[in-house]
Amino acid sequence: MNDDSFTDPATVAASMIGISDAETGDVAPHVKPATTYKYGQGYVYYRDNGPGMGDVEEVLRRLEGGKAAMVFASGMAAATSLLVSLGSGAHIVAPETMYWFLRNWMVKDAPAFGLSVTLYPNGNLDAIKAAIAPGKTKAVWVETPANPDWSITDIKAAADIAHDAGAKLFIDSTTAPPVITRPLELGADVVMHSATKFLNGHSDVLAGALITNEANDLWERVHHARAGFGGTLGAFESWLLLRGVRTLDVRMQRHSENAMRVADAMLANPAVSHVLYPGLPDHPGHDIAKKQMKGFGGMMSIRLTGGTDAAARAVLRTKLFRNATSLGGTESLIEHRGPVEGPDSPTPQDLLRLSVGLENADDLIADLEQALGQ
């Protein structure tokens, strides 16, 4: 797959240019389950690398416009492999609001690897500057849109700040896959995805991915960490991820359209005090989102006028929205996020997180309205 003449993400995702069986010319990729290979053929042992991973990595590389890609057994495996590869003594600047499990790892577990972390308020560029420790900060971590308030950070501006300080910019772009945002083009050094979510899109694969703009020494250390920690993505999971990516563009268009419809409807609902969706003109990050996103994605949150008790009731009353964790599948999900994150969570207890799926938008709106008592 060396022909880079077609670079549009929609084309790359749908066509899988160049991936076909050499003998039969099959247009659909095959599962490649071998774990060991004859010497001299380019592979040795699957934990280090294998052709099953190689196919999906090449597609992800092209989707993001990067130099190289790696897939992992989960998003957490991808993120932690990247961070520990910075080396003991490294300082990381990371947002206060982000994927909760990774935030907890940074705060509680990263010190065991010799890493220190300073948190900044999401989207606040001055706070990022202030948090940087000259000569010590090795990476600025940005999640945009940020889970679960969907705040927006200006990627290009954050990249400039990080690079001026001699640091790298790492972007968690899980909720804004490359048909919506391409962070490497905006100055990011590495893009991370929990590929379990929108990249796969079918809630049936646990996977993570990193795409880099430079295959440098850091990238080699990440590759070593993946093999050393055993975070390799299996061959069948790689094939499922590749299958899911093929419909990425059309899925994201429908996710974005449905989420916009639901957000507009929730604005008019008296049971809702706040609608958090970057596609809304009054969202604090709307102008930046318009600049760096093609569509606003399928994630949003609502806060309820009735507070915590109303939120707890609503998640039990939906019929189409499923009360479950995770996001990015074809089905719509709803979650009372604060109690899931636990007592240390900064998430408001009246907040419901919605992963808006591919169902009929009118049906989704009707389901929420009946659950909210309207």
Of 52-61, 149-158, 166-175, 278-287, minimum mean pLDDT range: 52-61
Q: Is the pLDDT of residue 218 over 50?
A: yes
Which residue is listed with tokens 């040795």? 44
In a domain, 262, yes or no: yes
pTM of the model: 0.95
Given pLDDT bands bounded at 50, 70 and 90, which one contains residue 216?
very high
Clarify whether residues 40 and 143 are in a common domain: yes
Q: Is the pLDDT of residue 21 over 80?
A: no
Model pLDDT, residue 32: 85
Model pLDDT, residue 51: 85
Residue 313 annotated among the catalytic residues of the structure: no
HSE at residue 369, side-chain half, CA atoms within 13 A, is: 15
Clarify whether residues 59 and 72 are in a common domain: yes
Model pLDDT, residue 276: 98
Distance CA 132, CA 169 (A): 12
In terms of C-beta distances under 8 Å and separation of at least 24 residues, what long-range contacts does 250-256 make, across chains too? 251/198, 251/201, 251/330, 251/358, 252/177, 252/179, 252/180, 252/198, 252/295, 252/297, 252/298, 253/295, 254/358, 255/198, 255/297, 255/298, 255/356, 255/357, 255/358, 256/180, 256/295, 256/296, 256/297, 256/298
- Residue 55 CB contacts under 8 Å (≥ 6 apart), including other chains: 1, 19, 29, 32, 238, 242
Residue 47 annotated among the catalytic residues of the structure: yes
Q: Residue 256: which CATH number?
A: 3.90.1150.10
Clarify whether residues 44 and 151 are in a common domain: yes
Model pLDDT, residue 344: 85
Torsion of CA 231, 189, 9, 46, to 10 degrees: -20
- For residue 269, give the amino acid letter: N
Which residue is listed with tokens 């492999």? 81
Tally of residues, the chain: 374
In a domain, 113, yes or no: yes
Model pLDDT, residue 20: 58
Residue 319 annotated among the catalytic residues of the structure: no
Percent with pLDDT over 70 in the chain: 96
Residue 197 annotated among the catalytic residues of the structure: yes
Catalytic residue among 197, 243, 303, 353: 197
Model pLDDT, residue 1: 44
Given pLDDT bands bounded at 50, 70 and 90, which one contains residue 22?
low
Clarify whether residues 275 and 223 are in a common domain: no
Catalytic residue among 55, 149, 154, 172: 172
Neighbours of 287 (CB within 10 A): 12
Range of the domain at 216: 9-245
Catalytic residue among 32, 43, 47, 136: 47
Model pLDDT, residue 374: 57
3-state helix, strand, coil in the chain (%, to 5): 40, 15, 45
Catalytic residue among 46, 99, 120, 277: 99
